[in-house]
Amino acid sequence: MSALAAREVVAGYEPGLPIVKGASLSVAGGEIVALLGPNGAGKSTLAKAMAGLVPVASGAVLLQGSDITAVPAHLRLKRGLGFVPQTENVFANLTVRENLELAASLAGLDRRAAREEMFGFFPDLARLARLEAGRLSGGQRQMLAVARALLAKPAALMLDEPSAGLSPRYVAEVFAMLARVRQAGVAILLVEQNVKAALELADRAVVLVDGTVRLDEPARPLLGDPRLPALFLGAREHA
């Protein structure tokens, strides 16, 4: 059974104008699936629909086998679905420690115990505990955002463009962090524009074009596959 799945999801921001047009994918526990595609393909829209932030016109979103399509976004977190948006994913005016403690309080957890658990998992955050989140580097901020999401011990975690705006060094750090999260058994859906880095990290890749899934295959073999540039550039696929 998949930890997280979309089944023929049709979704968009306006009624009758779907951006995602019947997309299906699944992520198992301890697996990273990279959701790739050209700009405007619907990748972020699909992730937001699975998180409950974009209306789903038809189809279903499943979490550990249970249909959560009609579950409000804030309750999906309680059921075990974490989501890290591309922007505004931490409170910039709060310290690292305060960000973690606030997230723990909202999840009904012991603030100190939850904070110390994340400091153990992300030692760099412990070193930065008293620093305001707004003063963190891009990579450090992504680390904090992921730690906040992991406090609730989600079965599945979705990230929207975590490498956006980061230097190659910080991209490597963020992706190494996600590899550690995978080892903890969390299912990860990674929406990403950095195709090479995503394929090197992920177990599988799903390529979305014009709101539909065009490829769903093991990730590594797709490195250098001529079908990828054809799909990204809108050309016809090679046979």
The tens place of each residue's pLDDT in the chain, 239 residues long, gives 799 999 999 999 998 999 999 999 999 999 999 999 999 999 999 999 999 999 999 999 999 999 999 999 989 988 999 999 887 789 999 999 999 999 998 888 899 999 999 999 888 899 999 999 999 988 899 889 999 999 988 999 999 998 888 888 888 888 988 998 999 999 999 999 999 999 999 999 999 999 999 999 999 999 999 999 999 887 444 33
Say how many residues make up the chain.
239
Q: Is 137 within a domain?
A: no
Domain with 49, as residue range(s), is: 4-88+154-233
Q: Is 120 within a domain?
A: no
Residue 157: predicted pLDDT: 96
Sequence-distant (≥ 6) Cβ neighbours of residue 219 within 8 angstroms: 34, 198, 199, 200, 201, 202, 203, 204, 205
CB 209 within 8 A of CB 218: no
Q: Is 224 within a domain?
A: yes
Closest CA to 29 of 141, 149, 116, 156: 156
The angle that helices 138-150 and 168-183 make with each other, rounded to 10 degrees, is: 20
Closest CA to 188 of 118, 84, 53: 84
Q: Is 135 within a domain?
A: no
Residue 78: predicted pLDDT: 87
CATH number, residue 72? 3.40.50.300
Residue 22: predicted pLDDT: 97
Q: Is 17 within a domain?
A: yes
CB 211 within 8 A of CB 199: no
- 44-88: per-residue pLDDT in tens? 999 999 999 999 999 999 999 999 999 999 899 889 999 998 877
CA distance 26 to 178: 18
CB 49 within 8 A of CB 8: no
What angle (nearest 5°) sits at the alpha carbon of residue 176, between those of residues 173 and 180? 135
* Domains contained in the chain, number: 1
At 205, is the secondary structure helix, strand, or coil? strand
Q: Is 113 within a domain?
A: no
Residue 237: predicted pLDDT: 44
Q: Is 147 within a domain?
A: no
Q: Is 103 within a domain?
A: no
